[in-house]
Amino acid sequence: MRAKAKVRRKGILVPEELLKEMVSTCARMEQILATLETLEDKRALKAILRSKEEIAKGEYIECSINNLREVLK
């Protein structure tokens, strides 16, 4: 049996496991919506395809976050 939220005078008590499940579900929905938005964006899809082609050709520079500014100059 699943734990249920309890309504109190000062608010609602939500069991920890139920809260974790709710947060996880919300995060998953946000990921799905972001994916759908990207799939709708033709410019973004072209940029992704172009990037994949550049990577396949070896047209990229590896760097760490510490030397990113130097690389971008």
In tens, the pLDDT along 31-56 reads 999 999 999 999 999 999 999 999 99
Q: Which residue has the tokens 């690389």?
A: 71
Backbone angles phi, psi at 29, to 5 degrees: -65, -40
47: three-class secondary structure by DSSP: helix
Largest CA distance in the chain: 64
pLDDT of the residue at 35: 97
Q: What is the pTM of this model?
A: 0.60
Q: 66: part of which helix (H) or strand (E)?
A: none
